[in-house]
Amino acid sequence: MRFDFLNVVLHEPAHNVVRLYLLESVRHRNIEPGVEFPIDESFAGWVWRNHKPYIITNVEEETQYPQSLAILRAHQVKSYCMLPLMSAHRCLGSLGFGNVTDASYSQADLDFMQQAANLVAVSLDNALNFRTALSQKELLARERDRLGLLLDVTNALVSSLDFDELFAAVIGCMRRVVPHDYASVALHDAQTDRLKFQAVGRGNSRQLVREPASADAGSTPAGMAFASGRPLVLDSEGLSSFPAAAIQAMLGDGIQSLCCLPLVTKKRVLGTLNIGSRKPGAFKQDDVELLSRVAAQTAIALDNALAYQQIAELKDKLNKEKLYLEDEIRTEYQFGEIVGGSKTLKKVLQLVETAAPTDSTVLIRGETGTGKELIARAIHSLSRRCERTFVKLNCAAIPTWIARKRAVWPREGSLHGGHCPTDWPL
């Protein structure tokens, strides 16, 4: 079969058009593959829709489909035949043969060309199915990686309540799926209405850089994302419109794409998670959607971390106040369980301070309820045996004959204090 012009046009279901995939000609080619035609305005569309050949014996006399005719005439095609590419399941498009001389196609020629077209259709169908399978495989792999990222972020966020550890874990997980060269978290200060950059990660380093600077909520891309509550994606031209020193520093560092994502909880917007890249157009729509899901998880974890930090600060403050008050009490009285300011009590406490450091047996006398046990505990607390156990004994329960035999207790193992209605040495 002799031909001077050959083209393959396939149907594109996504846009419902026909697209030129292959064009070979003995003349200089003035059109590149990839051009699309409406179905109702081309020979290929008619063949695809009707599943029949379209035969032109004289291109110069043909009047239908001017756009397609212009291509044929540009390649000096005089006669042309386009056949459907039929597979077992569908019509893929059309295969066209053209000659630069007038030619008539016999039925035998059409049968032969149709058999050739059928073989081409099988091959193309296999190739298209293989390409679709690879595309689906890539989509599944990408979806797997993204779901894995969300799982890793969740595991990282629930493992710690420390802010720096949370931020380092989040950017470490994101870098595997969404490559970037800059990441930061800006938190809103309601009192000053400014955004404070809590931590910044640059390049492939996991090291965090504290940013002492803050910016007005309305003068940075992060502020715009915070105010709107929606993600904001900017290129280098959009970034250059912000005069903030932090943005100019990013541009000087080569950042050409920035994505700012609000950290939204049920109660409020905490701030923004900011991701930057030196690659132009680095963040596509699906990347923004994934980063938004990461930001939602991060917002919950940061809210918990901030609440934990506030509780820890309040707890530390209370502990300091408690230690201060206890120190004040000890400074005044030096006895934690005894509080008083009378001269008589102060004199008794001075006697306790005198007797406690010694190994002498101490006799404590007083009526029931006057605090003999507290005095005994004070002596024990100030003695060299304060780290050992204090044992109290109700002396009224001791039989009389034992008390008489042990009127004086041995010094080693003597007891400080005790409830005793009589003047027994303890």
CB 394 within 8 A of CB 368: no
The predicted pLDDT at position 422 comes to 44
**From 49-53, 144-148, 302-306, 415-419, the region with the lowest mean pLDDT:** 415-419
DSSP assigned state of 419: B
Fold of 336-426: Rossmann fold (3.40.50)
DSSP string, 165-206: HHHHHHHHHHHHHS--SEEEEEEEETTTTEEEEEEEEETT--
Task: Kindly list the domain boundaries of the chain, sorted by start residue.
Answer: 5-132, 159-310, 336-426
CB 272 within 8 A of CB 195: yes
CATH number of 5-132: 3.30.450.40
**C-alpha angle with apex 131: 129 to 19, nearest 5 degrees?**
90
pLDDT tens per residue across span 315-339: 989 988 888 776 665 555 556 677 7
Fold: same for 159-310 and 336-426: no
Residue 417 predicted with pLDDT over 50 = no
pLDDT tens per residue across span 259-288: 998 988 888 888 888 888 888 888 888 888
* CATH number of this structure's domain 159-310, picked from the four choices 3.20.20.70, 3.30.450.40, 2.30.110.10, 3.40.50.300: 3.30.450.40
Select the more confidently predicted residue: 357 or 335.
357
CB 176 within 8 A of CB 320: no
**Residue 360 CA: distances (Å) to CA of 65, 212, 408:** 123, 63, 12
